[in-house]
Amino acid sequence: MTRAPGPSGFDMIRVLLGRRAGPVGMLRDLRERYGDVVRIPVGGTPYFIVSSIEGAKHVLIDNAKNYTKGPVYELLASFLGEGLITADGDHWRKHRRMVQPVLQRERMASFVSVMAEEAAALAERLAEHAKREAVIDIFPEMMDVALRIVARSMLGSEVKGRENEVHHALTFILEHMERVSVSGARVLELLPGGKRLRGLRRVLLDLPTRRNREFREAIRVLDDLIYGVIRARRAAKVPGGNDLVSLLIETRDENGAPMSDKDIRDEVMTMFLAGHETVATGLAWTFQMLAHNTNLVGDLFVESVDALGDRTPTVDDLPSLALAERVFEEAMRLHPPVWRISRLSIAPDVIGGYDVPAESIVVVAPVLIHRDKALWERPDEFDPSRFEKAASAGRSRLAFMPFGAGQRMCIGASFAMAEAQVVISTICRAVLMVPVKDGDPAYEPSVTLRPRGGVPLKMLPMRGTGAS
Ligand code: HEM
């Protein structure tokens, strides 16, 4: 039995005190001291941090069948139901096969037109701020545009005019889940016999508190909207709609069976969660990095004008917006929105030569892998050219894994990349954002790697653009 290195006794106190540098600082510290498989001996559930690409490959690809998604996802299931993120086993496999084609690049045309419309509206709002050279926090703006885009892509025009309602409901749900998960679930996870106590997590959401009632009410608001759209689409009996609900109504499993209303509701709710804050966080960090690298904004401007002239982007323009793509990739390398990917082991395993008992929590950490000195030159520097084809040759695919890896890899990666390209190339023509503070915001890690205190930037007009 080879036990993975990690803090123990006095060291553990040091590590916990080190949490002042935040969870990401703590992970970096642990890796520096103990290597790329670290065991954290807190409570009854063995907990491992894995930050080598070999370890990531083992957990997410080669021996993926030995891992389930684990405890945090059980809590999420209370509002996502059995969507792709929370489902496991046969239900997940069947639904993955049904949903995947709907989000592939070939189906992206109508989604991109929604993205282009919403990006243009945002550009107009930012250009108004720029007239006054106002300082605004770009993070809520990105949350707002990402929500509008995902909501309209999933539900179609019915959601127009109801965006605020959806925004409030979803924001409340996410904050409540975060609170419950931080205050309760993670503690339970670490207690001796944590597995047996797992059911308690869900109980925390059933307690008759005011916030829990508001939580149910927020879910009801979204349910009403989603089921309303499903009913409307079924009643219309006109196939060929372009929103996700229409596409899911038409999809069939290998036996020709359609999805139920509940199945569709769960997948739509899942996409709301998975496709909203992730993109918004990635974009907020992108604009933060661009504000400190304004020479790139000039290049983005030229790329956008060359590719689009005065048009808004369509799906066919995406290959011409290659710099926008690289800029987003580089921002996600430095600040991966999904900074850790957690799993629960089923049977005992060996990772990187170290024993991992059954029912261990194993956390693969893109946030560490993406800045590994052995994989990246000048790892802390923002340099999108490292994603040019020639520069990427010979680099392991897993050195950059913002969308995860293996069978559970993000199903919305093409959607997210398209959205980022459209938003970046539209905004860069409308405003120039410059920093108001030195350095980057600290991390406020939640489900995603949020910037603490947002991303306040000064908006300046982009002169002589003719763009909105
Ligand atoms: C920059 C934006 C995004 C990032 C960084 C991101 C990242 C990820 C990652 C790392 C996973 C794998 C999680 C794991 O293995 O435990 C994942 C899964 C998933 N993502 Fe994304 N995602 C993004 C955008 C989106 C969008 C736009 C959608 C939908 C429209 C989406 C839908 C999903 C779904 C449904 C899953 C679960 C897939 C499965 O388990 O089969 N994501 N995402």
Question: Does 156 contact ligand 1 (Cβ within 6 A)?
Answer: no
* CATH number of the CATH domain containing 89: 1.10.630.10
| Percent of the chain with pLDDT strictly greater than 70 | 90
The yes-or-no verdict on residue 186 having pLDDT over 60 is no
Give domain status of residue 279, yes or no.
yes
Question: Does 111 contact ligand 1 (Cβ within 6 A)?
Answer: no
Q: Which residue has the higher pLDDT, 72 or 418?
A: 418
| Contacts of residue 110, Cβ cutoff 8 Å, sequence gap at least 6 | 153, 242, 243
CB atoms within 10 A of CB 419: 30
Q: Which residue has the higher pLDDT, 385 or 170?
A: 385
pLDDT digits (tens, 9 = 90+) for 189-229: 555 555 555 556 667 777 788 988 999 999 999 999 999 99
Say if residue 55 is in the same domain as residue 33: yes
Atom of ligand 1 nearest to the CA of 103: 30
From ligand 1's centre to the CA of 373, what distance in Å?
26
Residues 54 and 393: their CA atoms lie apart, in Å, by 19
Residues 277 and 171: their CA atoms lie apart, in Å, by 10
* CATH number of the CATH domain containing 41: 3.30.43.20
**Res. 405 pLDDT band, cuts 50 70 90:** very high
Question: Does 55 contact ligand 1 (Cβ within 6 A)?
Answer: no
Say if residue 323 is in the same domain as residue 351: no
Environment class of residue 107 by beta-carbon count within 10 Å: exposed (0-12), middle (13-18) or buried (19+)? middle
The yes-or-no verdict on residue 141 having pLDDT over 90 is yes
Gyration radius (Cα) of the chain, Å: 22
Number of structural domains in the chain = 2
pLDDT (0 to 100) of residue 399: 98
pLDDT digits (tens, 9 = 90+) for 365-400: 999 999 999 999 999 999 999 999 999 998 999 999
**Res. 18 pLDDT band, cuts 50 70 90:** low
Question: Does 30 contact ligand 1 (Cβ within 6 A)?
Answer: no
Last residue of a domain, one of 401, 428, 443: 401
Residues 395 and 133: their CA atoms lie apart, in Å, by 42
**Res. 290 pLDDT band, cuts 50 70 90:** very high
pLDDT (0 to 100) of residue 465: 46
Domain of 383?
Answer: 1-68+339-401
Q: Which two tokens stand for residue 312?
A: 């808004």
Residues 5 and 87: their CA atoms lie apart, in Å, by 32
Say if residue 351 is in the same domain as residue 384: yes
Say if residue 197 is in the same domain as residue 57: no
Give domain status of residue 467, yes or no.
no
Say if residue 223 is in the same domain as residue 305: yes
For 200, 219, 456, 464, 465, the CA distances from 468, given in Å and listed in that order, are: 52, 37, 22, 11, 8
**Res. 468 pLDDT band, cuts 50 70 90:** very low
Q: For 306-322, what is the mean pLDDT? A: 96
What letter represents residue 426's amino acid? T
> Best mutation site among 278, 281, 329 for ligand 1, i.e. most ligand atoms within 8 A of its Cβ?
278
Question: Does 337 contact ligand 1 (Cβ within 6 A)?
Answer: yes
Last residue of a domain, one of 401, 432, 453: 401
| Closest residue by CA, ligand 1 atom 9 | 403
pLDDT (0 to 100) of residue 354: 97
| Percent of the chain with pLDDT strictly greater than 90 | 69
Residues 384 and 369: their CA atoms lie apart, in Å, by 17
Residues 153 and 131: their CA atoms lie apart, in Å, by 31
| Closest residue by CA, ligand 1 atom 17 | 410
| Closest residue by CA, ligand 1 atom 37 | 85
From ligand 1's centre to the CA of 277, what distance in Å?
11
Q: Which residues of 192-225 are buried (b: 16+ CB within 10 A; e: fewer)?
A: eebbebbeebeebbeeeeeeeeebeebbebbbeb
Say if residue 367 is in the same domain as residue 269: no
Q: Which two tokens stand for residue 56?
A: 């990531």
Across 39-43, 95-99, 179-183, least confident range: 179-183
Q: Which two tokens stand for residue 364?
A: 């693969």
Q: For 453-466, what is the mean pLDDT? A: 83
The yes-or-no verdict on residue 461 having pLDDT over 70 is yes
Say if residue 121 is in the same domain as residue 260: yes
Q: Which residue has the higher pLDDT, 349 or 20?
A: 349
Residues 16 and 373: their CA atoms lie apart, in Å, by 25
The yes-or-no verdict on residue 269 having pLDDT over 90 is yes
| Closest residue by CA, ligand 1 atom 15 | 408
Question: Does 367 contact ligand 1 (Cβ within 6 A)?
Answer: no
| Contacts of residue 287, Cβ cutoff 8 Å, sequence gap at least 6 | 138, 142, 427, 433, 455, 457
Give domain status of residue 310, yes or no.
yes
pLDDT (0 to 100) of residue 397: 94
Residues 372 and 35: their CA atoms lie apart, in Å, by 11
From ligand 1's centre to the CA of 402, what distance in Å?
9
The yes-or-no verdict on residue 466 having pLDDT over 60 is no
Main-chain dihedrals φ then ψ at residue 342, nearest 5 degrees: -110, 150
Q: For 182-190, what is the mean pLDDT? A: 55
Q: For 156-178, what is the mean pLDDT? A: 86
Say if residue 9 is in the same domain as residue 107: no
From ligand 1's centre to the CA of 247, what distance in Å?
19
Give domain status of residue 22, yes or no.
yes
Residues 444 and 204: their CA atoms lie apart, in Å, by 24
pLDDT (0 to 100) of residue 198: 54
The yes-or-no verdict on residue 241 having pLDDT over 90 is no
Say if residue 332 is in the same domain as residue 382: no
Q: For 256-269, what is the mean pLDDT? A: 95
Q: Which residue has the higher pLDDT, 10 or 440?
A: 440
The yes-or-no verdict on residue 4 having pLDDT over 90 is yes
HEC states along 208-269?
CCHHHHHHHHHHHHHHHHHHHHHHHHHHHCCCCCCCHHHHHHHCECCCCCECCHHHHHHHHH
Residues 78 and 196: their CA atoms lie apart, in Å, by 18
**Res. 467 pLDDT band, cuts 50 70 90:** very low
Q: Are 417 and 113 in contact (CB under 8 A)?
A: no
Residues 139 and 433: their CA atoms lie apart, in Å, by 13
The yes-or-no verdict on residue 247 having pLDDT over 60 is yes
The yes-or-no verdict on residue 450 having pLDDT over 80 is yes
Q: Are 451 and 284 in contact (CB under 8 A)?
A: yes
Say if residue 53 is in the same domain as residue 181: no
Closest CA to 244 of 114, 82, 365: 114
pLDDT digits (tens, 9 = 90+) for 30-60: 999 999 999 987 667 889 999 999 999 999 9
Question: Does 274 contact ligand 1 (Cβ within 6 A)?
Answer: yes
Residues 277 and 301: their CA atoms lie apart, in Å, by 26
Question: Does 114 contact ligand 1 (Cβ within 6 A)?
Answer: no
**Res. 15 pLDDT band, cuts 50 70 90:** low
Give domain status of residue 192, yes or no.
yes
Report the length, in residues, of the chain.
Answer: 468
Q: For 276-289, what is the mean pLDDT? A: 97
Question: Does 98 contact ligand 1 (Cβ within 6 A)?
Answer: no
pLDDT (0 to 100) of residue 462: 86
From ligand 1's centre to the CA of 56, what distance in Å?
17
Say if residue 57 is in the same domain as residue 77: no
Say if residue 237 is in the same domain as residue 186: yes
| pLDDT mean across residues, the chain | 89
Q: For 107-116, what is the mean pLDDT? A: 93
Question: Does 341 contact ligand 1 (Cβ within 6 A)?
Answer: yes
